[in-house]
Amino acid sequence: MDSRRLAYQLAVKNNIKNPFKGGFAGRYWLKGFLKRHHKILSIRQPTGTSQARANGFTKERIDEFYDNLKKIQADKCFPAARIFNVDESGLSIVQSKIPKIIARKGKKQIGAMTSAERGSLITIVICMSPAGIFVPPMIIFPRKNMSNALMRGAPVGSIGRVHPSGWIQTHLFTEWFQHFVEYVKPTEASPVLLILDGHYSHTKNIELIDLAKQNHVTILSLPPHCTHKVQPLDRSFMGPLKSYYSEEVRLFLRETNRPLTPYDVVELFAKLLLMVSELLEYIRLIEIYLLKPIT
């Protein structure tokens, strides 16, 4: 599917007339492409995600990533303030866990207020540098139409977008990247390194790759199936943020005695973002700057 998506993007970019529909090259095109290049390409069954993660996190892959990082640093010498890591995380509109409470013995059912919108997920795109510089986040709501009221209390400079799934999409990440460029202002004299994972919206995106070249941004992808171990923001920032968020939702429900809605989430998130950023020492981001993992 990724190959067909990239083929479509390349055809559009180069104004090549084609019969492709729906943002993908056709299956017959792919079959012919593989036949023409059968000596170097083949279709293989991918490993399941959990198994791939277990097999993928190897010393060789991690060493390869840091070797690539060292080569980039030797060439460009990015200071800490010009190295950024981007990651996405989902904030649920309902608590993932309902905390235990103390109640009178013999009472069979104890009620606790929860959100009415079970399953709704809001995606937050977070980006920061080892120097503690935060790029205002992109917030993606699980809706078809955007309302300014959803961004009430958002961190200054944040941008809001919508998609029915609430998840990041290729075009949305491209919009985020344009927002990133506007904020950090990379130039030929002051380029930027952006470290990200290998999600298709990041790496299978011709428009993004072109924008990076045009705007003096070097992109380095983390090793596949290793981001749960080495993604700096995932390890050092998102965990505490989600823990604080769950507690804040619990307090909100108790104090307001009403369900949490998408219109409440951003204000809670903004408060927590400030709290977490003040508490953390950016250990895992600093390890990227030091060119070696901290154990």
Q: Tens-digit pLDDT profile for the chain (295 aa)?
A: 567 777 777 777 777 888 777 777 788 777 888 788 877 766 665 544 454 444 555 778 888 888 999 999 999 999 989 999 999 988 887 654 444 444 444 444 444 434 434 447 899 999 988 888 889 999 999 999 999 999 999 999 999 999 998 999 989 999 999 999 999 999 999 999 999 987 666 667 888 989 999 999 999 988 876 666 677 777 777 877 888 888 888 888 888 888 888 899 999 889 888 777 665 555 556 656 656 654 4
Query: What's the pLDDT at 271?
Result: 86
Helices (H), the chain: 2-13, 27-36, 49-56, 59-76, 170-184, 200-203, 206-214, 227-230, 232-233, 239-256, 262-279, 283-289
140 bridge partner residues: 123, 161
Residue 165 near residue 142, CB atoms below 8 Å: yes
Residue 196 near residue 202, CB atoms below 8 Å: yes
CA-wise closest residue to 184 among 86, 116, 58: 86
Query: What's the pLDDT at 97?
Result: 47
Query: What's the pLDDT at 251?
Result: 87
Q: How far apart are the C-alpha atoms of 153 and 92, rounded to whole Å? A: 18
Residue 194 near residue 217, CB atoms below 8 Å: yes
Query: What's the pLDDT at 98?
Result: 47
Q: How far apart are the C-alpha atoms of 281 and 263, rounded to whole Å? A: 31
Mind listing the domains of the chain with CATH numbers?
Answer: 1-44 (no CATH), 58-97+114-289 (3.30.420.10)
Does pTM top 0.95 for this prediction?
Answer: no
Q: How far apart are the C-alpha atoms of 228 and 51, rounded to whole Å? A: 13
Query: What's the pLDDT at 289?
Result: 62
- CA–chain centroid gap for 238, Å, is 11
Q: How far apart are the C-alpha atoms of 264 and 86, rounded to whole Å? A: 24
